[in-house]
Amino acid sequence: MLNRRNFLKAGAGLALAAAFPARAAAGAGHVVIIGGGVGGATAAKHLKLTNPALRVTVIEANRSYIRPYGSSEVLTGHVGMDDLVVSYDALKSKYGVEFVFDTVTGFDPDRKQVRTAGRQTVAYDKLIVSPGISLQYQAIPGYSAAVAETRAPSGWIPGSQTALLAQQLKAMRPGGTFVIVAPPNPYRCPPGPYERGALVTEWMRRHNPSGKVVILDPKDSFVTDATMQLGWHRLYGYDIPDDYLSDMPADVDNRGKPSPIEWVRAKDGGTTERIDARSLTVTTRGGAVKADVLNIVPPMKAGKLAFDMGLTDASGWCPVDRRTFESSVHKDVFVIGDASIADAMPKSGFAANTQAKVTARAVAAQLAGRAPGEPVWGNTCYALAGSNYGLFVADVFRLKDGKIARVSDQRYLPLDASMAKIRLGAAYQQAWLKTFTEDCFA
């Protein structure tokens, strides 16, 4: 029986419960995040912003992050390797995110425990995995991780190979050829190989004016291809292929002269069949191409950890429930970033960042006993055709019939954009590198 005093006490309790619905229960949750890259760091920050009472632990193999986005600028000396290093200090001090620096080797989904190489066991209520990509060196006959570390770097996961490639470019003989082997879809950073080709071409005009860039491609098109080629045409005298000409602005005037940048598509024989690492020769369907510096961006799959945890399907990527990015294989495990299958969304940092924000809210909602909200994701990939020549692809995505669909149609910088807008695009790209890093890590 409730007397008046007890009733008032109970009433006060009820009022408190109503003011903070399920908040205390949500605070009891421990979210563990594997991978402190773009996806993992953003998820950690946004879990804490959504509910500061949550305990959030990031398990990351390295003590600081080396950002892949903007890493092609190391090749041209615009930034150094040190400029790519991002600290985890702000996530710790400003948001109270805990860090374990160790390599995850596997997990027990029944006990909800993660295992590390350093023999630590970390228990979770919800697990977010953002392990990035693995480079399939062996998919190209003659190529291997050892060749990538010593002779023909990839540099698509930044580190020692990026530094080696920069050294090789600087030491290239006058008039030498810098060959980029572009990857098949899907891969990390769709405009990336073509932006890299452009930046190296621009650099060579000043430092090796008779040098040349050749991009060998197993595809016939790439995202931003029309705007990128227009930039190559204006800056480097590149002849735009006939099938792109009809949409081009009036100033386009193919000269029929060799350009310092060449794009060899699949239909023109650009698909690589094998490489000879000793002579730096690429055998393509169209014939042999001899390189002085050989940069191979090999086929990609989800990061090794995703395979070790059994999160991948036959495609080599991780199937997820598109609303929350909860794994289709394991309950209470979420896969975000490049490793996930996200339909129309590209494998980009921007995409990983918005996936992380949506998933952080979905995880916090689940722990609080609420249904996740209606997701909206975005992506903008800026790219440079030269250091003052910017372009972009920008998209908004929503759920449509259980898949992630693009809902915006004005995607690219218009082909008739003024030079002022193009220069502004380059300034936006530089500003984005800074503000984006802050958005993820600070």
Ligand X SMILES: Cc1cc2nc3c(=O)[nH]c(=O)nc-3n(C[C@H](O)[C@H](O)[C@H](O)COP(=O)(O)OP(=O)(O)OC[C@H]3O[C@@H](n4cnc5c(N)ncnc54)[C@H](O)[C@@H]3O)c2cc1C
Nearer to ligand X, 26 or 128 (CB): 128
Residue 283 CB, nearest approach to ligand X (Å): 25
Q: Is the torsion defined by CA of 113, 116, 118, 119 positive or negative? A: positive
Residue count, binding to ligand X (CB under 6 A): 37
Interacting span for ligand X (CB under 6 A) from 3-11, 53-61, 228-236, 366-374: 53-61
Determine if 153 is a binding residue for ligand X (CB under 6 A): no
Please identify, among the stretches 34-42, 139-147, 178-186, 239-247, the one whose residues bind ligand X according to the rule CB under 6 A.
Answer: 34-42
- Select 26 or 104, whichever has its Cβ closest to ligand X: 104
Return the residue of 26, 31, 37, 166 that touches ligand X, per CB under 6 A: 37
Assess contact for 66 and 57: CB atoms under 8 A.
Answer: no
Cβ density class 250-287: b for 16+ within 10 Å, e for less: eebeeeeeebbbbbbbbebebbbeebebeebbbebebe
- By CB under 6 A, name the one of 169, 282, 289, 352 that touches ligand X: 352
Site for ligand X in 293-322 (CB under 6 A): 303, 305
Give 416 or 438: the residue with its C-beta nearer to ligand X: 438
Q: Is 168 among the residues that bind ligand X (CB under 6 A)?
A: no
CB of 38 to ligand X, least distance (A): 4
How many angstroms separate the CA atoms of 34 and 215, rounded? 35
Our CB check for ligand X shows the closer of 132 and 270 to be 132
8-16, 55-63, 174-182, 419-427 -> range binding ligand X (CB under 6 A): 55-63
Contact call for residues 72 and 31 (beta carbons, < 8 A): no
Nearest distance from residue 374's CB to ligand X, in Å? 23
Which of 88, 107, 124, 156 forms a contact with ligand X (CB under 6 A)? 156
How far CA 48 is from CA of 26, 27, 364, in Å, comes to: 12, 10, 9
Which region, judged by CB under 6 A, interacts with ligand X, from 213-221, 260-268, 274-282, 347-355?
Answer: 347-355
Of 61, 85, 252, 442, which one interacts with ligand X (CB under 6 A)?
61
DSSP strands (E only) in 279-338: 281-284, 287-290, 293-296, 300-302, 320-321, 326-327, 333-335
Which two three-digit tokens encode residue 204? 């060579």
Nearer to ligand X, 105 or 281 (CB): 105
Whether 175 and 210 have beta carbons less than 8 Å apart is answered as: yes
Least spacing, CB of residue 11 vs ligand X, in Å:
48
CB of 81 vs ligand X, minimal distance in Å: 13
- Closest residue to ligand X: CB criterion: 37
Of 192 and 218, CB closest to ligand X: 192
| 60-68, 85-93, 322-330, 416-424 -> range binding ligand X (CB under 6 A) | 60-68
| 33 touches ligand X (CB under 6 A) | no
Question: What is the Cα–Cα distance from 97 to 413, expressed in whole angstroms?
Answer: 38
Minimal CA–CA distance to 352: which of 95, 57, 135, 69?
69
The Cα–Cα gap between 410 and 209 comes to 37
- Which of 168, 208, 272, 348 touches ligand X by CB under 6 A? 348
Asked whether the beta carbons of 108 and 195 are under 8 A apart, the reply is: no
Q: Is the dihedral of CA 262, 386, 351, 418 positive or negative?
A: negative
Contacts to ligand X from residues 93-152, by CB under 6 A: 103-104, 130-132
Rounded to whole angstroms, how far apart are CA atoms 402 and 324? 11
The answer to whether the CB of 399 falls within 8 A of the CB of 375 is yes
Is 424 a binder of ligand X (CB under 6 A)? no
Between the two ends of the chain, the Cα-to-Cα distance in Å is 53
Strand order in the sheet with 287-290: 272-276, 281-284, 287-290
| 426 touches 227 (CB < 8 A) | no
- Of 26, 60, 236, 362, which one interacts with ligand X (CB under 6 A)? 60
Residue 226 contacts residue 412 (beta carbons within 8 Å): yes
Beta-carbon contacts of residue 434 (< 8 Å; ≥ 6 apart): none
When binding is defined by CB under 6 A, the residue of 29, 45, 51, 65 that contacts ligand X is: 65
**Of the two residues 64 and 144, which places its CB atom closer to ligand X in the complex?**
64
Residue closer to ligand X (CB basis): 71 or 359: 71
Q: For binding to ligand X (CB under 6 A), which residues are involved?
A: 34-40, 59-62, 65, 68-69, 71-72, 103-104, 130-132, 156, 188-189, 192, 303, 305, 337-339, 347-350, 352, 381-382
